[in-house]
Amino acid sequence: MRSVVRSILAVILVAGISALAAAEQPQVKEQPAPKTGPGEAAGAPPNAVTGPITRGQRVFSTGHSFHAGFARILDEISRSAGFADSTIVGISNIGGSTVIQHWGGKEVQAALAAGAVDVLMTTPIYLPDPGVEKFAQLGFGHNPNFRLTMMEFWLPFDQYEPLNYVRGPERLPPPAKVDHNAATTDGLRRIHERYFREMDELVGAVNKTLGRQVVFVVPVGQAVIALREKIIAGQAPGLKSQEDLFTDGLGHPKPPLTIMMAYCHHAVIYRKSPVGLPVPRALKIPGDAKDVEALNRLLQDVAWEAVTHHPLSGVKGDATSTQGTAPNIRGNTVVFVILSGAKNLAVGIATADSSPPEGGSE
């Protein structure tokens, strides 16, 4: 009898100890399976953090009169590169516009809020321009794959003068005559230096706010200076003078310049070289087919060179990405530091010497 009682007590004791041990363990609730995030179609892989993009991107184009016909050429180039699923979601062109002027467009905001845009293309003329940050926050908030490209372009009238683009009595009239052929490479670099620096600082500041690189520079202005240097040296097939790039003194582009602009964007959007792609339909110059082919190759080379040498483009020469870096500005020196996940390890943006007023007219 006593042995039976001992057995029963032993069973009770073991059960009690087991229950106590279980009570001390943290309770883990079963988590539901993650849902497809905004902007991520079922089965569509997210964009790689580094390296070439492997699927067509949904692109929305905003810009001013320098962008006439540009989005369709970009789409043609992307498809010729094998991205048959690339899509131009929408186009918003406003002559002489800043980025913030496109904020009022319901179509742009609706597409971003729906997570239906992978890449929003923008182009500030002068700063300040709060539209860049507002669009970056909206797009990234609804699509983890979202990127905003900011085109640094060639300065209107071959001069740095923000007062050409303000409203009110302080506005300065444009120059009566512009001689693009009189420009030198050193002079072009000098007048663009402040513009490029201010744009880079803006990109760094917005990326710092977002905690990762969402805004990427498309260095078209740098490519244009390099192409003009080729023209001056007589090394651009079919282009005899710098005027062959522009339709007027303001600087509206002719087809070769628009096509190079598209090659720069393609390189940044897909992190792939455009070198070797076929001649776009819009590229027409005096001369034979060999000149057209040679010029097309030059535009591709110049675009890829500019993109891979800009630290904020997200592209390296070996087609790997520098995504995840942001600039720390100290005077005129750009120092790059690393972002880890959503934590900024050491980013600080110096205030620009002065910010030009917001533009608003052509």
Sign of the Cα torsion 303, 305, 310, 312 reads positive
Compute CA distances 122 → 59, 61, 204, whole Å: 11, 7, 16
Superfamily of domain covering 58-344: SGNH hydrolase (3.40.50.1110)
Asked if the model's pLDDT at residue 258 lies above 70, the reply is: yes
Phi, psi of 301, deg, nearest 5: -60, -45
Asked if the model's pLDDT at residue 277 lies above 80, the reply is: yes
pLDDT of residue 346: 28
Q: Where are the domains of the chain?
A: 58-344
Asked if the model's pLDDT at residue 71 lies above 50, the reply is: yes
Q: What is the mean pLDDT of residues 108-116?
A: 96
What percent of the chain lies above the pLDDT cut of 90?
Answer: 67
> How sure is the predictor about 286, in pLDDT bands with cuts at 50, 70 and 90?
confident
pLDDT of residue 10: 46
pLDDT of residue 46: 73
Q: What is the mean pLDDT of residues 12-39?
A: 35
Compute CA distances 177 → 115, 180, 195, 350, whole Å: 45, 10, 22, 37
pLDDT of residue 327: 32
Asked if the model's pLDDT at residue 358 lies above 90, the reply is: no
d(CA 329, CA 338): 14
**Beta strands 343-344 and 333-340: pairing type?**
antiparallel
pLDDT of residue 330: 29
pLDDT digits (tens, 9 = 90+) for 3-20: 544 544 444 444 443 443
Bridge partner list, 334: 329
d(CA 232, CA 6): 104
Sheet with 87-93: strands ordered across: 87-93, 58-63, 119-122, 147-151, 215-218
Q: What is the mean pLDDT of residues 126-147?
A: 95
Label residue 13 left, alpha or beta by phi (over 0 means left) and psi (-120 to 50 means alpha): alpha
pLDDT digits (tens, 9 = 90+) for 333-346: 333 332 333 333 22
* Averaged pLDDT score across all residues of the chain: 80
Burial of 248 (0-12, 13-18, 19+ CB in 10 A): exposed
pLDDT of residue 40: 44
pLDDT digits (tens, 9 = 90+) for 173-229: 999 999 999 999 999 999 999 999 999 999 999 999 999 999 999 999 999 999 999
| Residue-wise DSSP of 33-51 | PPPPPTT--TTPPPPPSSS
Closest CA to 73 of 316, 254, 195, 243: 254
Q: Which residue has the higher pLDDT, 254 or 8?
A: 254
List the beta strands (DSSP E) in 154-254.
215-218
